[in-house]
Amino acid sequence: MGRLQHVVDDAPSAPARVTGPGRPHPLGVRPAGDGVDVAVVAEHAERLELCLLDRDPSEPSGWREQRLVLPARTDGVHHGHVAGVRAGQRYVLRAHGPWEPARGHRYNPHKVLLDPYARVVEGTVQHTPALLDHVVVDGAPSELMSTVDSLGHGPVGVVVDEPPHPVHDRPGHPWARTVVLESHVRGLTRRLPAVPPELRGTYEGLAHPAVVDHLVRLGVTAVELLPVHASAPELHLHQRGLVNYWGYNTLSFFAPEPRYSAAVGRGEDAAAVLAEFRAMVASLHAAGLEVLLDVVHNHTCEGGLGGPTLSWRGLDNALYYRTDGGGYRDVTGTGNSLDSSQPEVVRQTLDSMRYWVQTMGVDGFRFDLAPALARVRDDERGTGGFDPDHPFLVAVRADPAFAGIKMVAEPWDIGPYGWRTGQMPVPFADWNDRYRDGVRSFWLDGSRAELESRPGPGVRDLATRLAGSDDMFGGPRRTGARTPLSGVNFLAAHDGFTLADLVSYDTKHNAANGEDNRDGHDHNLSWNHGHEGPTEDVEVTESRRRTLRALLGTLAVSTGVPMLLAGDELGRTQGGNNNGYCLDDETTWHDWSLAPWQRDLRDTTAFLLALRAQHPVFRQERFFGARPVQRLDGTRDVGWFDGDGDELSEAGWSDPWRRTLLMFLNGDAVAAEGEPGVRPTSFLVVVHGGAHGREVQLPEPPWAESYRPVWSSEQPRPEWPAGPGGVGIVPSDVLGGARLGVPARSLTLLEAVRPDARAARR
């Protein structure tokens, strides 16, 4: 197709007018002097228009439009100063240029475009043919340009004054003291009775004292929010009457999702969402809680060739996306991937991050499909590979705006060689999927294997995960700057079974998603304990709850940074749905009407996190191999024992039938490494995954003279019973070398009384 010569209609009279070239930076539409400075990246565009909108019901689109051509262009940035524009003005963009789909150029001035730097977004995406930049022929996209105007069918930007930088202090928790709670703004409070109905599911609701009190009592230090960037549902969800509940379909990297704003719900101006979000952050900070954002800088909501044209595709498709002739190279599974080899794309990501840190006050980010952000330029062989020295990663590391800001990577995408756990550079911490799978394998799949009389996972991998995953984050092939705190340990996340469903379902139950149960993971390493789903069987129910507590106990005592999925502390279920991304209903909302066992589980979780916070031996900042291996008394920083009191042999490490492991954590190892006033305490962690209770022999002196029972997953509540409880549960000290009975499939924690806490080091 040739280039379209578009004639701008006469605009209605208005005081707004272009009075000068403005500046090419900063990008976006920003109040300046008597109007706004406008700057938009559109390298291949011939002309760019700012379209000022005023509501007019007499117009078919519902808007009266004034189009103003930006007069200047610098290094691919179209810019100009427009006088007479004030905060509250609605606007969109139109781009003129070549319509050459085979070369990746898809300029179509009939399509209005959202400013990628808009601070506030108003309106929703209406999946109608008007949003397509092409004509559909025989149900498929063609290379014919659509001439249907899209004004009125998509969201618009709103001009707002830039808020001042927050003045309150950040909590600034070090990684060693960080406990992350992954949550959803809407799902966390949608059913919480203590929150007023009009605030449930909103930023203001998340800042409600009832929510803050729960988080503080639980013992988490950071709330990691699923995407809060403005997003849009995919066409296939829209057609089924569903939404993208998780929000991994970004419409704007700067604007907060307005659906989560109580102020917008009350009919206040769209800009009120900024004040509400900032107030939420301030309230959480005041309670000592950090705010991390899950961000999706790897793709956008425009999807593949058949998707809508809303912003980037119309501004500069060939620049923003990884294109392949007329199509896209996709490493995200969404139809498109942003091209992070382009400096303009890296700049957009960094600008967004700075805005959320400096203006909105957040404390860090979790990067969805992080390797997609660090792939080099595509070549004739296909998708570019991952580069740990990619300009984006180097820029994050060097930018002073991000000093002390937490960076967490989801270290995989679906492209070639996309699994990169343990390979992200500092300052990134990685979601540790090896931890998730290793712990699940031992407690769940391993228990099933034992019942089916087949070999299980043994204890080697579990020990590696308990000790900080040195194989992933340490060793000679890793950078010396990475530590055990480079791994974020988790058992469940938004994507997959909740912890309660992990012990209740063997298979996914995703029928409500409308995809014939084809979506979601099939490799869950779950175990239903003998019955699929809800049951009245007391034995099955109690067994599940014991396993839940063992899983939570394992997470609490593991070296690394723990992350909980919100609601797991309450035994939250999604009815076996392991992919609730499109369900904004009771399936994914937290049910706060707690049964007694759920309150007990909440208190158990809080107890375990308090224990972790109190004792630095659970928060190791160096790998055990980084310290002297042997002490003068013959002990080491970590000791591994079998159930008979002997140090684990190589044959024991390799035994797939082994279900018992004792880990001795020597408090002397961390006594001299900080935290003044903290008494060095050693602990023995007794892990027994067998189907039957057994006796274990406790390590004898010089490891410890005696052991004081602290907690067992056999306990419904976090206290030792006054009288005989479960098998082997005793309230008194046990001498080193003695035998202690432990229940089936249990984790038992004992404080070790050392013969000399000041044992000399070699």
The residues annotated as belonging to the active site are: 368, 410
- For 401-429, give one letter per residue: b (16+ CB within 10 A) or e: ebeebbbbbbbbbebeebebbbbbbebbb
DSSP 488-526: EEES--SSS--HHHHTT-SS---GGGTSTT-SS-S----
CB 747 within 8 A of CB 686: yes
Residue 704, token pair as written in the block = 């410890």
- SS3 label, residue 392: helix
How many other CB atoms sit within 10 Å of the CB of residue 324? 13
Residue 640, token pair as written in the block = 């591994």
Residues 6+ apart with CB under 8 A from 689: 442, 443, 446, 447, 450, 659, 660, 745
Burial (CB count <10 Å: 0-12, 13-18, 19+), residue 77: buried
Kind and range of the H or E element at 237?
Answer: helix 235-239
CB 327 within 8 A of CB 305: yes
* Cα-based torsion angle of the residue sequence 318, 322, 328, 329 in order, rounded to the nearest 10 degrees: 160
Order the strands of the 734-735 sheet from edge to edge: 638-641, 660-665, 682-688, 746-753, 706-712, 734-735
Q: Distance of CA 236 to CAs 232, 233, 368, 515, 573, Å?
A: 12, 8, 22, 10, 26
CB 420 within 8 A of CB 400: no
Residue 256, token pair as written in the block = 């907060």
Taking the C-alpha atoms of residue 573 and residue 611, their distance in angstroms, rounded to an integer, is 26
Cis amide bond preceding 427, omega within 30: yes
Of 557, 565, 562, residue with least CA distance to 463: 557
Taking the C-alpha atoms of residue 587 and residue 520, their distance in angstroms, rounded to an integer, is 15
Residues 6+ apart with CB under 8 A from 102: 143, 325, 326
DSSP 644-701: TSSBPPHHHHT-TT--EEEEEE-THHHHTSS-TTPPP-EEEEEEE--SS-EEEEPPPT
Residue 350, amino acid = L
CB 583 within 8 A of CB 183: no
Q: Computed over its alpha carbons, how large is the radius of gyration of the chain?
A: 28
Taking the C-alpha atoms of residue 74 and residue 91, their distance in angstroms, rounded to an integer, is 22
Total residue count of the chain as it appears in this document: 762
Taking the C-alpha atoms of residue 123 and residue 252, their distance in angstroms, rounded to an integer, is 12
Residue 507, token pair as written in the block = 């298979």
CB 729 within 8 A of CB 673: no
DSSP code for 587:
T
Q: Strand pairing partners for 749?
A: 685, 711
Taking the C-alpha atoms of residue 686 and residue 326, their distance in angstroms, rounded to an integer, is 59
Residue 720, token pair as written in the block = 């030792």
